[in-house]
Amino acid sequence: MIKPFGASIYHLFVLIKHLKITTMSTMKNNFKDQDHLYSSWSFSKLMAFFFLLISISYLFYSLRFVSHSFDCDQTPHIPTITHRISSNTPSEEESTPPFEEVTNISHIVFGIGASAKLWKQRKEYIKLWWRPNEMRGVVWLEQKVKAEPQDENFLPPLRISSDTSRFKYKNPKGHRSAIRISRIVSETLRLGMEDVRWFVMGDDDTVFVAENLVKVLQKYDHNQFYYIGSSSESHLQNIYFSYNMAYGGGGFAISYPLAVALEKMQDRCIQRYPGLYGSDDRIQACMAELGVPLTKEKGFHQFDVYGNLLGLLAAHPVTPLVSLHHLDVVEPIFPNVSRVQALKRLKGPMKLDPAGLIQQSICYDKARTWTISVSWGYAVQIFRGTFSAREMEMPARTFLNWYKRADYTAYPFNTRPVSRHVCQKPFVYYLSKAVYDEGANETASQYVRVQQNPDCKWKMEDPTQIKVVEVYKKPDPHLWDKAPRRNCCRVRRTKKKGTMVIDVGECREDEVVEL
Ligand SMILES: *[C@@H]1O[C@H](CO)[C@@H](O)[C@H](O)[C@H]1NC(C)=O
Ligand SMILES: *[C@@H]1O[C@H](CO)[C@@H](O)[C@H](O)[C@H]1NC(C)=O
Ligand SMILES: *[C@@H]1O[C@H](CO)[C@@H](O)[C@H](O)[C@H]1NC(C)=O
């Protein structure tokens, strides 16, 4: 920052002018009071001297500033640095690491925190995403559970966490199992598995989308310190715990060298925070001591909400869906089926095109003035009338706040209300099946309406006539290798009665969401 010399001189002039006026006005006032003339006169002199002193110091200050600016202009140190860099370059080239393959699923080791009490139900969630022959990881329990022989082939190996009774736990609301669970990172590291790049933590009710997890981790250098995850959907939770914390249920990833650094200090670190509530805030406290910030990836979902996830999922941020959590707390993601059955249905599209799973696209049926929002592999919504893209990409509040008394907008992202008007209620079509046509290299997914919509008296065409929505989309394994952009959708002309046909794919040149 260079302050011109002229400006300082100008300030000095203003100051002197101001000084003159002040002294004169002081004198004028004092003439009225003859008795105090002498003392006032010396007072004025004192004031003048005082201002002169200030002016001189100001002048010196300005000059110092100007000479300092000269130093900046000359920048005598920079050439030295440049020189050092250039002299170092050859040796750095020599030590370039050999070409490394990109991260794949076998580089990840999962550490799942589970409890014996809930194991019978919760293991069903793990079975949904666990691939025994491809994945590595361990489920950590506090005590032995009854082994079911058929489970062995569908679940990670089970282990019992080491004793943590020597650690202090002083949170009145939480449970001391938090200490055990936060030590899973270190305990998994100590197993000494080879070729590990990332440790990924999750709960027994976390469901991961493996391909997308890999895709996200590929962006980061596993040889450096990374702590990757996401915050809560509840603003209050983030205030009570931390916006800098990766929520454990949503899952988080710790790079190998960071896990090594953590393991060395974690037990000491845990003792310093006996008052914390959970396992994930204990991890965050140690991360703060290590100076490693949270790298936020919005595809990890803690889902600290109640009710219907439709609003959140249908307007998923433009980033790969990595995890789902609190599936016991929210309603099943598809209506009229059990929670596990609903998630099983999602596995169909997950297999065909994981990158595109749940991703939103927005388009209009121009002839009928409907707005259409596709959440690929999950749901299609038809709205009467035209909603802008910026409204449609905002989650509708179909879900409830984690804190029931909280402000209904207390989310760390924008949300929109669910319309109360009968005519503005969306027609929701849920995935019923998804197949892949190899010849066309295209997926065909079908969505049907389960819930009835109320009667509406608008003259506009009525989506009630649409019973089925068919969506065609090419799988796009490279979607996340490109800059993030929502896919585009187009309503296809069709003669099929009661059916709407939609194409989803990369936007064409100049294609925008406009009516
Ligand atoms: C993952 O990469 C390693 C090399 O680091 C390779 O040996 C292995 O076969 C790859 N695994 C898969 C499943 O692609
Ligand atoms: C789904 O459940 C609702 C209420 O629970 C019921 O009214 C509706 O008929 C069910 N739909 C189907 C397709 O089973
Ligand atoms: C299918 O299409 C996608 C997108 O154009 C392409 O990336 C992929 O390689 C294709 N797959 C096959 C099997 O042709």
CATH number for the domain spanning 263: value is: 3.90.550.50
Average pLDDT for 328-356: 96
Residue 407 reports pLDDT greater than 90: no
Residue 324 reports pLDDT greater than 60: yes
**What three-state secondary structure class fits 305?**
strand
Which domain, by its residues, includes 412?
A: 344-505
| Residue 450 in contact with ligand 2 by CB distance below 6 A | yes
| Residue 296 in contact with ligand 3 by CB distance below 6 A | no
Residue among 99, 100, 101, 211 to mutate when testing ligand 1 (max atoms within 8 A of CB): 101
Partners of 137 in beta bridges = 110
Buried b or exposed e, range 399-428, using 16+ CB within 10 angstroms = bebbeeeeeeebbeeebbeeeeeebebbbb
What confidence score (pLDDT) does residue 51 get? 64
What percentage of the chain carries pLDDT values higher than 70?
81
Spatial distance between the Cα atoms of 428 and 375, rounded to a whole number of angstroms: 11
**Mind giving me the DSSP string for 151-198?**
GGGTSPPEEEPPP-TTS----SSS-THHHHHHTHHHHHHTT--SS--E
Which residue, 267, 292, 261, is CA-closest to 182?
Answer: 267
Q: Which residue CA neighbors atom 1 of ligand 3 most closely?
A: 441
Between 339-352 and 119-129, two packed helices, what is the crossing angle to 10 degrees?
Answer: 10
Report field, pTM of the whole predicted structure over 0.75: yes
**Dist. CA 109 → ligand 1 center (Å):** 14
**Dist. CA 136 → ligand 3 center (Å):** 29
Structure tokens belonging to residue 353? 């095109």
**Dist. CA 314 → ligand 1 center (Å):** 34
Partners of 375 in beta bridges = 360, 379
For 189-216, the pLDDT digits (tens) are: 999 999 999 999 999 999 999 999 999 9
Nearest ligand by distance to the CA of 451: 2
For 108-129, the pLDDT digits (tens) are: 999 999 999 999 999 999 999 9
Nearest ligand by distance to the CA of 218: 1
Residue 466 reports pLDDT greater than 60: yes
What confidence score (pLDDT) does residue 52 get? 66
Nearest ligand by distance to the CA of 102: 1
Write the single-letter amino acid at 370. W
Spatial distance between the Cα atoms of 40 and 462, rounded to a whole number of angstroms: 91
| Residue 69 in contact with ligand 1 by CB distance below 6 A | no
Query: Which atom of ligand 3 is nearest the CA belonging to 442?
Result: 1
Spatial distance between the Cα atoms of 265 and 262, rounded to a whole number of angstroms: 5
Site of tokens 């200490």: 179
Is position 337 within any domain?
A: no
Q: Are strands 468-473 and 427-437 parallel, antiparallel or unpaired?
A: unpaired
For 483-502, the pLDDT digits (tens) are: 999 999 999 999 999 999 99
What confidence score (pLDDT) does residue 4 get? 42
Is position 67 within any domain?
A: yes
Domain match, 122 and 85 both: no
What confidence score (pLDDT) does residue 56 get? 63
| Residue 54 in contact with ligand 2 by CB distance below 6 A | no
Domain match, 262 and 356 both: no
Domain match, 81 and 115 both: no
| DSSP conformational letter for 416 | B
Residue among 308, 331, 334, 336 to mutate when testing ligand 2 (max atoms within 8 A of CB): 336
Site of tokens 């609190």: 326
Q: Which of 72, 94, 116 is the last residue of a domain?
A: 94
Nearest ligand by distance to the CA of 195: 1
| Spatial CB neighbours of 50, under 8 Å, sequence gap ≥ 6 | none
Residue 172 reports pLDDT greater than 80: yes
| Residue 451 in contact with ligand 2 by CB distance below 6 A | no
Query: Which atom of ligand 3 is nearest the CA belonging to 441?
Result: 1
What confidence score (pLDDT) does residue 77 get? 43
Domain match, 230 and 196 both: yes
Q: Which residue CA neighbors atom 4 of ligand 2 most closely?
A: 336
Q: Which of 94, 121, 155 is the last residue of a domain?
A: 94
Residue 435 reports pLDDT greater than 90: yes
Domain match, 26 and 128 both: no
Which residue, 351, 378, 372, 389, is CA-closest to 486?
Answer: 389
Domain match, 275 and 357 both: no
30 or 136, which is more confident? 136
Give the pLDDT band (50/70/90) at residue 149: confident
Domain match, 487 and 463 both: yes
247 or 8, which is more confident? 247
For residue 433, the domain's CATH number is 2.70.130.10
| Residue 476 in contact with ligand 3 by CB distance below 6 A | yes
| Residue 96 in contact with ligand 3 by CB distance below 6 A | no
Domain match, 289 and 184 both: yes
Q: Which residue CA neighbors atom 2 of ligand 2 most closely?
A: 336
Average pLDDT for 336-346: 96
3-class SS letters over 427-482 = EEEEEEEEEEECCCCEEEEEEEECCCCCCCCCCCCCHHHCCEEEEEECCCCCHHHC
Is position 309 within any domain?
A: no
What confidence score (pLDDT) does residue 180 get? 97
By the 8 A CB rule, do 278 and 178 touch?
A: yes
Domain match, 125 and 221 both: yes
For 259-317, the pLDDT digits (tens) are: 999 999 999 999 999 999 999 999 999 999 999 999 999 999 999 999 999 999 999 99
**Dist. CA 356 → ligand 3 center (Å):** 13
By the 8 A CB rule, do 162 and 181 touch?
A: no
Residue 1 reports pLDDT greater than 90: no
Q: Which residue CA neighbors atom 8 of ligand 1 most closely?
A: 106
**Dist. CA 183 → ligand 1 center (Å):** 28
Please count the structural domains in the chain: 3
Domain match, 90 and 110 both: no
What confidence score (pLDDT) does residue 57 get? 66
Domain match, 192 and 265 both: yes
Residue among 450, 467, 468 to mutate when testing ligand 2 (max atoms within 8 A of CB): 450
Which residue, 288, 294, 281, 285, is CA-closest to 253?
Answer: 294
**Dist. CA 101 → ligand 1 center (Å):** 7
SS3 content of the chain, % helix, strand, coil (to 5): 40, 20, 45
Is position 207 within any domain?
A: yes
Query: Which atom of ligand 3 is nearest the CA belonging to 477?
Result: 7
Is position 70 within any domain?
A: yes
Structure tokens belonging to residue 515? 């009516």
Spatial distance between the Cα atoms of 201 and 193, rounded to a whole number of angstroms: 16
* Helices and strands (DSSP H and E) totals, the chain: 13, 19
Domain match, 374 and 416 both: yes
**Dist. CA 196 → ligand 1 center (Å):** 11
| Angle value at C-alpha 334, between 253 and 232, nearest 5 degrees | 35
For 18-73, the pLDDT digits (tens) are: 544 444 444 434 443 444 444 455 656 666 666 666 666 665 555 554 444 434 44
Q: Which of 94, 114, 144 is the last residue of a domain?
A: 94
| Residue 442 in contact with ligand 3 by CB distance below 6 A | no
Nearest ligand by distance to the CA of 476: 3
Which residue, 303, 228, 219, is CA-closest to 258?
Answer: 228
Give the pLDDT band (50/70/90) at residue 405: confident
Task: Cite the DSSP H helix spans in 253-331.
Answer: 256-271, 279-290, 310-314
Is position 233 within any domain?
A: yes
Which residue, 342, 349, 378, is CA-closest to 361?
Answer: 378
Nearest ligand by distance to the CA of 505: 3
Spatial distance between the Cα atoms of 341 and 364, rounded to a whole number of angstroms: 32
